[in-house]
Amino acid sequence: TQLLEQSPQFLSIQEGENLTVYCNSSSVFSSLQWYRQEPGEGPVLLVTVVTGGEVKKLKRLTFQFGDARKDSSLHITAAQPGDTGLYLCAGAGRGSTLGRLYFGRGTQLTVWP
């Protein structure tokens, strides 16, 4: 059973388009993190959201944590080829240590020039 469901699994778009990636669960998380992973590399942290309803922006990336802290979304505006990569969401349960994260399967994003 997958604790965190990410959708879509694959996304292929043209440069300049907008996109949204979803991360859903029936469980409540104390925090949720978004990572980006390149082929043959480890994940790199993009953002951590902690408070229900929280919205964080990182340049053209907007992250939102659901009010109930069960889901999150990542929105990219005017995507660029450099945004290509695997985007992973990861949730931390209540009382969990930092490394005990539950990862989604990821969304593979390809942005064509």
Partner 1 sequence: GAVVSQHPSWVICKSGTSVKIECRSLDFQATTMFWYRQFPKQSLMLMATSNEGSKATYEQGVEKDKFLINHASLTLSTLTVTSAHPEDSSFYICSAPLNEKLFFGSGTQLSVL
Q: Is 2 in the site for partner 1 (CB under 8 A)?
A: yes
Q: Does position 58 bind partner 1 by CB under 8 A?
A: no
Q: Is 45 in the site for partner 1 (CB under 8 A)?
A: yes
Which CB sits closer to partner 1, 1 or 113?
A: 1
103 contacts partner 1 (rule: CB under 8 A): yes
Sheet bearing 5-7, strands edge to edge: 5-7, 19-24, 71-76, 61-65, 55-58
- The verdict on 44 binding partner 1 (CB under 8 A) reads yes
22 touches partner 1 by CB under 8 A: no
CB of 6 to partner 1, least distance (A): 9
Residue type, 42: G
Tell me the number of residues near partner 1 by CB under 8 A. Answer: 23
Report in angstroms the alpha-carbon separations of 32 from 41, 44, 66, 70: 21, 14, 10, 9
Residue 91 within binding range of partner 1, rule CB under 8 A? no
Which residues of the shown chain bind partner 1 in the complex (CB under 8 A)? 2, 4, 9, 33, 40-45, 48, 88, 90, 97-106
